[in-house]
A and B are shown apart, each in its own frame.
Chain A
C-alpha cells in the first residue's frame, strides 16, 4: 500500500508542488483515456485496457443522476483499495468549494483532485483555493471565462464539462467549441481588445494575453461528459481536446473491457478513420444514454 504522506524530502534543493510538476503530470496524460472506476476490480480492468489514469469514485455519474441525494467524496478505504490495485495515477473527486475533502484526498496522496460538478457543490460562492495544495487539481469548464477563473485559482488541468452520466456528446461539443472558438478569436484580437476580452470573460487579463501569444491554454485541455464510443473520443480530439475522461460510458456498456480498449486505441489514432472503423466493430451495446432535453438536473450548470 502507498504511504498516506510523502516521505520527508531527502534533499533540501528539491522542490515539490510547483506549477511545473502539477501541469507536467497532465501533460504526461495527453492522448490518453482516464476512466471512472468504482471498485478495485474495475480499476484493474481499466488498467488492463490501457487507461492512463483512473478516477476513484463510489458511483459513476449515471448512477449519481439516477439515485439523487447528496453526492460526496468517496470513502478513503475505497480510494486506498484502488491505489493498491493499479500502478497508473489515481484521481478522486472533491465537491466544489469543499477544501476539507480536498485536504483528506491530499493526505491519501491521490495523484490528482477533480473539483467536480458531478458531486453536490459545498460552496455557492467560492471554488477551492488550489494554490494552497501540493497535489494538482483538474476543474471543469463550459466556456473560456470559467476555464480561466479556475486557472487563476490554481487548477493545473481543465476539462470541458459536457453533461456527465448521459452518454450524450452534444454538451461536450458545445463546451469545447465555445472554449476553443473564443481562444481562436483572441489570437486575432489586438492588444487593446484583449482588455475587453478579459472584461467579457470575467478573467485575469494576464491569462487572456498569454492565450493571445501562444494560441493555447497554459495547461492541458481535456474533455469529459458524454463520451460513450471510440468515434466520440475521435470527435472531441479532432475538435481540440488533448485527452478524454470516460465515466459511465465504459462500465455502463455491455462489454466494458472491450469498449475501454477500443476507446484507448481511438484516442491515439483519432485521425485515422480506418483504425477507428476496425476498433469500433462488435463492441456490444453502448450505455443507453439520455436526451439532454429530458434531464431534471444539468450538472454542468454547477460552478461558475
Chain B
C-alpha cells in the first residue's frame, strides 16, 4: 500500500520510518503529481500555519481536499489533526482546514513549549499496556461531532478532560505524536482500518 506523507514541512521522516517498518510504502507528497497512486495519507506534525500556506503555494490544497472528500484514509498528528478538522480556534483568521473529521480543535491548548509533556494514555480498543504519548505545543478537541469516536482524552490546562485521539471512519486524528514514542499501535490501527 502506498501511503503519502505530506512533506511540506514537519516531522516527515519519523512517520515515513514507522510506515516502512510496518510494511507500508511511504511516499513524500510535495506537489499534486506526488498524489498519483497514493492510497492513504499521513499529515505529520509541524506548524499548521506554515503547512497551510504551502498547501496553497504548491497547488496541493484542492487535489488533496478532493481525495479526502472522496473518503481517502488519513492520519493526522498534532498540526495534521488541525489540518483535518472542520474548525480551528486560536489559529490565524485565514487558516483553512480540510474538514475530513468533524472536530473543533484549539491550537496550542496546553500553553507554550515549557508545558509540553509526556504521559501514558488509556486508549479505547487498544489491547496491552497504556500508550505512551508525546504532546508538543499540542492542540485539543473542544467539540467532537456525533460521527466521531473518542478513543482517548487528557485534562487540558484548566483540568477539563479533552479528546486527544479520535476516529471517524477511515480518518484518525491525534493531538500527540505517535511517531515519536516508539509505540506504533496508532499507525497499526490506522493501516488496519482502511
Contacts and interface: CB of A to CB of B under 8 A. Distances in A.
Contact of A28 (B46, B49, B111, B117): B46
B134 A24 contact: yes
Interface residues of B, number: 47
B46 A3 contact: no
A28 B47 contact: yes
B10 A30 contact: yes
Interface stretch (B18-26, B63-71, B154-162): B154-162
Interface string A21-47: 100110111111000000000000001
Contacts, number: 143
A180 interface: no
Contact of B115 (A16, A50, A52, A264): A16
B91 A87 contact: yes
A109 B114 contact: yes
Given A28-B45, A88-B49, A16 B114 contact: yes
A90 to B, nearest CB: 8
Contact of B157 (A10, A24, A110, A264): A10
A9 B118 CA distance: 12
Given A21-B134, A28-B79, A268-B58, A87 B49 contact: yes
Interface residues of A, number: 47
Given A20-B118, A29-B46, A269-B58, 19 more contacts: A3-B111, A6-B114, A10-B155, A10-B157, A14-B118, A21-B134, A21-B136, A24-B136, A28-B136, A31-B10, A50-B54, A51-B50, A52-B47, A53-B47, A87-B49, A87-B108, A89-B113, A109-B113, A264-B53
Interface of B: 7-14, 30-31, 45-47, 49-50, 53-54, 57-58, 78-79, 90-92, 107-108, 111-120, 134-137, 154-155, 157, 159, 177, 180-181
Interface of A: 2-3, 6-7, 9-11, 13-18, 20-21, 24-25, 27-32, 47, 49-53, 87-89, 106, 109-112, 134-136, 261, 264-265, 267-269, 272
